[in-house]
Every structure is written in structure tokens, then in C-alpha cells.
Amino acid sequence: MVLLLVLLSALSILIGAKNIDLLQLSSRDVYVILISRVPRLISIIVVGISLGITGLIMQTVTKNKFVSPTTAGTVQWTRLGILVAILFFGSETHFTKMAVAFAFSLAGSFLFIGLLARIKVKNAILIPLIGLMLGSVVSAISTYFAYQYDLVQNMTSWLQGDFSLIIMGRYELLYVGIPFLIIGYLFADKFTIAGMGGDFSRNLGLKYEQVVAVGLVIVSMIISVVTVTVGALPFLDLIVPNIVSMAKGDNLKNSLLDTALIGANFVLICDILGRVLLFPYEIPIGMIVSVIGSAIFLWMILRRSNHAV
């Protein structure tokens, strides 16, 4: 996985409208690499790692392989927060917009967890469907107010995952999520125990509610940072942890490194595809990830249903 990441990273730096020959680098080539290609590569890797780990934490805490920020409505709440930030804090910095988006994202995550606690039938497919329906309602509210205030195009630019505008000075907000990834690693064992259930966790002396709250804060912050910086990448946080769990099991700490590597590689592959399919034009990575991710998501549901029969 590490070798694949290195190869894809080198390929990502070379691909673009401006042809770069590593054997004959000009000063302009170096400028393009430092200003555009390297920041884009760093953003792709950080986003892939971050979203993969957020999905893994969400699935561990909720004990459901089909739950992720995408299917729990967290992304949709973040979008609503961004809309509110544009309406009331339009002239403020990206950091302010991220803070407002984080508040809405965290509130939506707690609402989803609260709904799960009240559901008596813990069906593996029913729970994410509830999250998707909740997310659809929130998305409809966002769309309504966006139409009311003539912000549809503005919102669309925020919501469509795209790395084409990433240059030096426009991606550094992603670094805010790195400390939260470290906290996620430190809490990995506690998240694994929390995934065994509230009663079992409390019997082991774990403060279950506090651990779940930490997990939701980590997920909400990372989703907010990624959405404000590059937009939404649907289903990435769902499929990557599932791919890892098939091979590594459900111990979160043992799966973190593989999840990070696969997430980074997956985003790199999708980004490269978006840049070469209609070269020199570019397909937004959000569209590539949506198509591939939704297909894998449907396959996982059908696979789960067939095994349940």
C-alpha cells in the first residue's frame, strides 16, 4: 500500500494541463509543482486519510457497517451549517465558516445517535436508511433556503468535491483536522470497547457516553474541515472502512493504518481518473467518488442481504 501511494503520488504530480518533464525541469515547472501540484497532492492524501478514519470511527461507535458521515446525515448537516455561515457570516474567513459548519454537524450527529438509542429494532440496513432519510430532509431544507436567498450556485460550488482550485494558501485549513486524527488514534481502544455496547462498556469501567461524544466531535470536525476546503466526497467514508474490516477485522487500532492508506490511495485513483478521462479538462472528483462509491455501497447491501437469506 505504501509503494502504491508513492507511485500514485508521483503520477499525480506529473498529470495536468501543464506538461512537466522531470528530466528537464524549468523554473516555471518548479513553480507549478510547488504552488499547485504539491498542495493538491497533500490535500488529496489528508482528505483520503481523514474521511476513511471518520467512517471507521462512526461504524465502530454505532456497531453498524453501513453507518458513516454520509449515511448518518452528518454531511448534510454540515452543508446546512455552511449555508447559514454564508448567509450570516459571508464576509468572514473560512475558519469561521468551518466553525459554524462544525456546530451544525455535531448537532446532527448527536441527533442521529439519539434516534438510534430510541430504535428498538437494530436492523443493519434500516439504521443507515433512517440516516439517509434524515439527511434528505436536512438537504431539502438547505435547498429551500438556498433558493430563497439565490445561493444555489454558491452552495453547489461548496458541495461538489473538487481539488482543481487547491493551490498554496487555499488548503492549509485541512491541517486543523490532523490533531483530531491523533486523538482518534489515542482513543482507538476505547472506541473498540464502546462498539461492544453501552452496558458492556460500562461494566468494564468505560465512560461510554463521553467516549461516544469524543468520537462524534472528531468526526464532525474533520467532516466540516474537509467540506469547507474541498467539498463533499460521498460514500468514501463508508466503503473504505468496510474494505479494511473484511481483511483486518473490527479492532479499530489494528485497522487505522490500513484505512488511512486505502483511503489516500482511493482518493488519488479517483482524482487521477477525473484528470485523464477528459484531458485536458477535469471531471470533479466528487462525481467520480459518487459513482464508484454508490456502486460499491449497493453491492455491499446486496451482499449483506444475500448472506442474510
Q: What is the mean pLDDT of residues 130-138?
A: 86
What is residue 37's DSSP assignment?
Answer: I
Which is more confidently placed, 176 or 198?
A: 176
Each as own residue / partner, the long-range contacts of residues 102-105 (CB below 8 Å, 24 or more positions apart, any chain) are: 102/78, 102/220, 102/221, 102/224, 104/77, 104/78, 104/80, 105/74, 105/77, 105/78, 105/81, 105/220, 105/221, 105/223, 105/224
Task: Report the alpha-carbon distance of residue 80 to residue 265 in Å, rounded.
Answer: 29
As given in the structure block, the three cell numbers for residue 264 are 489516500
Q: Give the ranges where the chain is alpha helix by DSSP (H).
A: 2-14, 27-32, 38-62, 74-88, 94-118, 126-148, 152-159, 178-186, 188-194, 198-203, 208-230, 236-248, 252-276, 285-308
Diameter of the chain by CA atoms? Answer: 65
Task: Report the alpha-carbon distance of residue 14 to residue 41 in Å, rounded.
Answer: 11
The predicted-structure confidence for 156-186, as pLDDT tens digits, reads as follows: 766 677 777 777 777 778 888 888 888 888 8
Return the residue matching grid coordinates 473538487. 162
Q: What backbone phi and psi angles, to 5 degrees, belong to 232?
A: -90, 140
Cβ contact 278:152 at 8 Å: no
Coil/strand/helix, residue 278 = coil
**CB neighbour burial string for 114-133, b if at least 16 within 10 angstroms, e if fewer:** eebeeeeeeeeeebbebbbe
As given in the structure block, the three cell numbers for residue 157 are 460550488
Task: Report the alpha-carbon distance of residue 228 to residue 251 in Å, rounded.
Answer: 31
Which is more confidently placed, 217 or 252?
A: 217
Which is more confidently placed, 200 or 80?
A: 80
Q: Which of 281, 283, 292 is nearest to 240 (CA)?
A: 292
Identity of the highest mean pLDDT range in 83-97, 157-171, 265-279:
265-279
As given in the structure block, the three cell numbers for residue 178 are 490532523
pLDDT of residue 104: 92
Q: Which residues does 238 contact at the CB level (< 8 Å), separation at least 6?
A: 55, 66, 68, 70, 71, 293, 297
Hey, how many other C-beta atoms are within 10 angstroms of the C-beta on 10? 12
Quick one: pLDDT band at residue 309, thresholds 50, 70, 90?
very low
- Domain at 2-308: CATH architecture: Orthogonal Bundle (1.10)
As given in the structure block, the three cell numbers for residue 242 are 468496510
Task: Report the alpha-carbon distance of residue 171 to residue 163 in Å, rounded.
Answer: 10
What is residue 124's DSSP assignment?
Answer: T
pTM here is 0.85
Q: What is the mean pLDDT of residues 39-56?
A: 89
In sequence order, the β-bridge partners of residue 232 are 160
